[in-house]
């Protein structure tokens, strides 16, 4: 805005300015490049005045193209910004945006596309694996962003992932491109943990945005979404809503008490009685949620991992996908 004085001044003592500019190496120099000047800056040689450094002038103000500035690098010395000043600022902003874009570009779009293409060459569908891996990557990177926004000492827990966790073993390792993404984002495996040191927050913000875009591309292709869609389209009335609500509650009990095996087996007669009878697509829904349907005993039993444990992370992801799918289909 041309004539608003506050828009042409930067108060160095402001908390946000201190955090985002003054304490960052090169931050004040970048302001100088944009045309800001103060008594604390020796504009003749481009260096700080040793007698009055910026760090000692935290209460000072940098002004955009001030009258007192005699530097030839300033496009204008008038109080009101001229056309040449505005053109200079537009060009400067454009150049900075291009640099930021270049340095915050992530490997995610390329590697996720490779993961999807690799999936097409395999007999076993793994759209769900790619989808859930992307969701867990987004959570992991969001923790890094949150840790850097927090005041005080940052816990290393926010910057680490246990190699023995279900997330790493079953979500990331089953999609090798996720390991490539971790490495590209600066993670290294140290003593059983994948950790990132001194992360560039802007890159992680861009990564979260890229992952959100990738998740959006395949969200309607997950097995749970397709099963939910079939259930809704094949059964008019309240039956689908009741069944989905009941299944969500069943999965919730497993999540809350995973060691209680009685929650791992569902009686079909009880399940369908609550939803008003057998529904078209209900068997497929149970299968997609991770249950093995036995028509002889009329039960649906939760499948375990090869090591015989409950993949609790997968149960939670599928439950969330069920509720998300129902919400999108119910409001479409």
Say how far apart CA 160 and CA 188 lie, in whole Å: 10
* pLDDT score at 49: 43
* pLDDT score at 229: 96
**130-142 in b/e burial notation, b at 16+ Cβ within 10 A?**
bbbbbbbbbebbb
pLDDT tens, residue by residue, 109-143: 888 888 878 755 554 448 999 999 999 999 999 99
Percent of the chain with pLDDT over 90: 48
Long-range contacts of 91-98 (CB under 8 A, 24+ apart): 92/33, 92/34, 92/35, 96/30
- CB within 8 A of 238, min separation 6: which ones? 276
Between these two residues, 326 and 279, which has the higher pLDDT value? 326
Between these two residues, 68 and 167, which has the higher pLDDT value? 167
pLDDT tens, residue by residue, 95-112: 766 665 555 568 888 888
- CB within 8 A of 48, min separation 6: which ones? 28, 40, 41, 42, 54
* pLDDT score at 19: 66
pLDDT tens, residue by residue, 244-274: 999 999 999 999 999 999 999 999 999 888 8
Three-state SS string across 148-198, please? Answer: HHCCCCCCHHHHEEECCCHHHHHHHCCCHHHHHHHHHCCEEEECCEEEECC
Contact 27, 58 (CB under 8 A): no
Contact 310, 302 (CB under 8 A): yes
- What kind and span of H or E run contains 127? helix 127-149
pLDDT tens, residue by residue, 210-244: 999 999 999 999 999 999 999 999 998 899 999 99
> Is the pLDDT assigned to residue 20 strictly greater than 70?
no
* pLDDT score at 70: 44
Say how far apart CA 236 and CA 240 lie, in whole Å: 8
Closest CA to 4 of 63, 57, 60: 63
> Is the pLDDT assigned to residue 12 strictly greater than 80?
no
Classify strands 47-48 and 41-42 as parallel, antiparallel or unpaired.
antiparallel
Of the pLDDT bands very low, low, confident and very high (cuts 50, 70, 90), residue 54 is very low
């Amino acid at each position: 805005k041309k004539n608003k004085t506050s828009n042409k001044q930067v108060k160095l003592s402001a908390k946000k300015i201190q955090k985002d500019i003054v304490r960052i190496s090169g931050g004040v120099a970048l302001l100088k490049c944009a045309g800001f000047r103060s008594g604390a800056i020796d504009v003749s040689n481009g260096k700080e005045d040793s007698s009055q450094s910026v760090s000692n002038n935290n209460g000072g103000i940098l002004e955009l193209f001030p009258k007192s500035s005699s530097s030839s690098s300033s496009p204008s010395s008038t109080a009101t910004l001229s056309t040449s000043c505005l053109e200079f600022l537009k060009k400067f902003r454009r150049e900075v945006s291009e640099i930021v874009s270049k340095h915050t570009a992530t490997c995610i779009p390329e590697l996720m596309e490779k993961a999807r293409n690799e999936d097409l060459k395999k007999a076993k569908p793994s759209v769900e694996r790619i989808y859930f891996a992307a969701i867990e990557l987004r959570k992991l990177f969001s923790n890094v962003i949150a840790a850097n926004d927090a005041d005080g000492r940052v816990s290393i827990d926010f910057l680490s992932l246990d190699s023995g966790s279900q997330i790493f073993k079953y979500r990331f390792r089953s999609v090798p491109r996720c390991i490539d993404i971790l490495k590209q984002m600066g993670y290294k495996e140290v003593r059983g943990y994948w950790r990132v040191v001194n992360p560039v927050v802007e890159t992680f913000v861009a990564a979260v945005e890229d992952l959100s875009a990738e998740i959006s591309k395949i969200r309607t292709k997950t097995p749970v979404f397709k099963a939910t869609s079939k259930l809704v389209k094949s059964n008019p009335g309240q039956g689908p809503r009741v069944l989905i609500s009941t299944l969500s509650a069943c999965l919730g009990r497993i999540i809350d008490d995973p060691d209680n095996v009685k929650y791992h087996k569902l009686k079909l007669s009880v399940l369908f009685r609550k939803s008003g009878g057998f529904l078209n697509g209900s068997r497929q829904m149970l299968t997609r949620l991770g249950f093995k349907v036995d028509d002889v005993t009329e039960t649906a039993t939760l499948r375990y991992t090869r090591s015989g444990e409950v993949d609790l992370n997968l149960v939670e992801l599928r439950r969330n996908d069920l509720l998300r799918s129902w919400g999108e289909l119910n409001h479409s």
